[in-house]
Structure 1
Amino acid sequence: MPAPTSPTETAAPPATRLRRPRWSDPRLLVGLLLVCGSIVIGARVMAAADDTTAVWSVATDHRAGTPVDASDLRPVDVRLGDGAERYVAADESVASGRVWSRDVHAGELLGVAATRPVDVREVAQLPLIVSAGSLPSDLATGDRVDVWVSSGPESAESGRAELVLDGMRVLSVVAAPASMGGDMSGYRVLLALEHDRPDRLGPALGAIGAGEVTLVREVVGEMS
């Protein structure tokens, strides 16, 4: 029977040395690629989130043809991409003496074509005295109206109406003094003569002087 082996005589397992990772180790290369990819993607996401442009925004609704007031514009940061050139940057001043070229609504971004200089043709103005029941009660500056003239009760053509001017822009609406309208039930309406030819205006004035004026507001469809 063999003699028992003492603990000191038991063979120790060979020592395992730590090896330094080699650059050629596929696992190390894959790990490095994942880290680098994460950094690049994160940087692009942060850059995209910061890629905004400051442009002017309209604070309230305005009618076409009314003056542009710079105090009614607000700067906003928006992501526009390739369409940034269509809007006015917030670091650009909006020149005075311009009017709205179309109806604009609150919150709308200020497009480069939304305003225009005052046209020299708009210097001519046509004042009309209109009775209170012959125009919309809420007629306002910037509205577009058609001017109809009906024959007076003493005329042989009483009851007939004629369209003498169309698409006229309203410059102002004020209560007519008694010396102008005969009483306070009328209004003095100032219209812009922006597109009318002299040969059209003459007959219109003749009809207006001989009849009763009614203003019919044009209906403006919703903007997309």
Structure 2
Amino acid sequence: MAGWRDPRLWIGVALVAVSVVVGARVVGGADDTVAMWTVGTDLAEGTEVDPSDLVARRVRFADPSDAELYFTTGDALPTARHLARGVTAGELLPRTVLGEPDDETPLVSVSVPAVQLPPSVSAGSVVDVWILPASGSPESSKAKLAVADVRVADAPRGSADLAGSPTDRQLVLGIPDDGANLARVLTASGDGRLMLVGRG
């Protein structure tokens, strides 16, 4: 009977009980994860998502209802699978990002000096495109807004020197053509006079 009064025995019993409780919570928490589709590589706006572009990943949501905003591995992907914005590797695939392709907005490749481009700009960003005064312009000349709310369709890091300078970035922008926008932007791109202002 003295053994039951040994504090070491009760400490051992307590440790076993704690281990059982913690183990049960860990196992129970694992059951809260949901198998979701994530994007395997960076994909630009307008890209048609192929099932091979997706990677399954188990995710635990603080609010279970948040899972409804994204595609689970059990969902059938829609027939219209073109991206309305760029997505990055590892990102969950939102339900609202897939749809029909936008065939009306021309996509143009432009060169932008790195110092005139926010570092956070990437595929899917929305920017305002400004044109800086030409060299030799009067001091009173100011930068002019060429077109607002432009979607960056692609911003490849590996092609930064395509414009002939390692300090330039090559971007693909979706620029609505009103008869003058494209001409102004492309001319300024060739002269290194484009500046982008990020909007999100």
> Is the TM-score greater than 0.5?
yes
> Alignment partner for residue 116 of structure 1, among 99, 106, 115?
99
Q: In the superposition, relative to structure 1, how do residues 76 and 210 fare at CA in structure 2: closer, same or farther (>3 Å)?
A: closer
User: 1:74, 1:80 → 2: CA distance?
Assistant: 16
Quick one: which amino acid aligns to residue 181 of structure 2? Answer: L
User: 1:139, 1:85 → 2: CA distance?
Assistant: 28
User: 2:44, 2:186 → 1: CA distance?
Assistant: 29
Q: In the superposition, relative to structure 1, how do residues 105 and 126 fare at CA in structure 2: closer, same or farther (>3 Å)?
A: closer
User: Is 1:168–2:153 an aligned residue pair?
Assistant: no
User: Is 1:135–2:117 an aligned residue pair?
Assistant: yes
User: Is 1:197–2:177 an aligned residue pair?
Assistant: yes
Q: Which secondary structure state, in structure 2, belongs to the residue aligned with residue 197 of structure 1?
A: coil
Contact 2:113 2:192 in 1 (8 A): no
Cα deviation for residue 175 of structure 1 reads: 1.0
Cα deviation for residue 214 of structure 1 reads: 0.8
- Equivalent residue number for residue 188 of structure 1: 170
Q: In the superposition, relative to structure 1, how do residues 119 and 75 fare at CA in structure 2: closer, same or farther (>3 Å)?
A: farther
User: Is 1:217–2:180 an aligned residue pair?
Assistant: no
> Alignment partner for residue 94 of structure 1, among 77, 81, 101?
77
Q: Which secondary structure state, in structure 2, belongs to the residue aligned with residue 156 of structure 1?
A: coil
Quick one: which amino acid aligns to residue 175 of structure 1? Answer: A
Q: In the superposition, relative to structure 1, how do residues 72 and 184 fare at CA in structure 2: closer, same or farther (>3 Å)?
A: same
Q: How many residues align?
A: 161
Between the aligned residues of both structures, percent identity stands at 22
User: TM-score, normalized by length of structure 2?
Assistant: 0.56
Cα deviation for residue 134 of structure 1 reads: 1.0
Greater relative contact order (Cα 8 A, min sep 6): structure 1 or 2?
2
If you compute each CA radius of gyration, which structure gives the higher value, 1 or 2? 1
User: TM-score, normalized by length of structure 1?
Assistant: 0.51
- Equivalent residue number for residue 20 of structure 2: none
User: 1:75, 1:153 → 2: CA distance?
Assistant: 55
Contact 1:64 1:102 in 2 (8 A): yes
Instruction: State the Cα RMSD in Å.
Output: 4.5
Quick one: which amino acid aligns to residue 134 of structure 2? Answer: G
Quick one: which amino acid aligns to residue 150 of structure 2? Answer: M
Q: Which secondary structure state, in structure 2, belongs to the residue aligned with residue 72 of structure 1?
A: strand
